[in-house]
Amino acid sequence: MKIYFASDHAGFEMKNALKEYVAGLEYGVEDCGAYELDPDDDYTLFVKRAAEAVSKDPENVKAIVLGGSGQGEDMVADKFPGVRSAEYYGGNLEIVRLSREHNDANVLSLGARFISLEEAKEAVKIWLETPFGNEERHVRRISEIEN
C-alpha cells in the first residue's frame, strides 16, 4: 500500500514528520507537496496530486492531506471520482476508525493547527490499520455516494 501526502504551509512540518512515521510502519510513501515552507502556497494543487493518485487506484493507494483546519483539503479531495475523504481535527478518535470501517475512507484530512503531532500519529495509525467492514449496508451506501 502506498500513502500519498500533501499539505499546505500550515501542515508542512506535520506532513514531513508523518511521512517518516508512516514509512516506519512499512508503507510506501510519496510526497505531493508542499516541498518547501511557503506561506503563499496553494494547497489545492498539492491535494489534487494526492487525490488523483487515489482516484486512479483506490484499492492500493490512500492519501493523508493536511492543512490548518483540514477542511479545504477535505473538500478538494472529495471532488475526485472514487475518493472518500474524512476529516479529523481533534476529539474522539472513534470518528477516524468509523471513517474506515463504515465509509471506506481512502483519504484522511488532518487539521494541523488543532492537533498535536502525537494525536496525528495516533489518528493515522488507527486509520491505516482499520479495515473496511464490508457490511452490505455500507457497501450499498458507498455505491449510492458514487452514483
Q: Give the residue extent of every domain in the chain.
A: 2-146
* E strand or H helix that includes residue 2: strand 2-7
Architecture label for domain 2-146:
3-Layer(aba) Sandwich (3.40)
**Confidence band of 139 (pLDDT split at 50, 70, 90):** confident
Question: Which conformational region is residue 7 in: left (phi greater than 0), alpha (psi within -120 to 50 degrees), or beta?
Answer: beta
For 37-91, the pLDDT digits (tens) are 999 999 999 999 999 999 999 999 999 999 999 999 999 999 999 999 999 999 9
In this predicted structure, the answer to whether residue 4 has a pLDDT above a threshold of 90 is yes
Neighbours of 142 (CB within 10 A): 17
Q: Which long-range contacts (CB under 8 A, 24 or more apart) does 128-131 make?
A: 128/3, 128/22, 128/25, 128/27, 128/62, 130/96, 130/97, 130/100, 130/101, 131/100, 131/101
3-class secondary structure, 128: helix
Cα separation, 56 vs 58, whole angstroms: 6
Half-sphere exposure of residue 82: CA atoms within 13 angstroms, side-chain side: 14
pLDDT at 102: 93
Catalytic center residues:
73, 102
39: DSSP letter: T
Cβ-in-10-Å burial (0-12, 13-18, 19+) of 24 comes to exposed
Query: What local confidence, expressed as pLDDT, does residue 95 receive?
Result: 96
Cα–Cα distance for residue pair 145/32, rounded to 1 Å:
26
Q: Using alpha carbons, select from 48, 144, 141 the residue that is nearest to residue 102.
A: 141
Q: 10 Å Cβ neighbour count for 26?
A: 7
Q: What is the mean pLDDT of residues 17-28?
A: 98
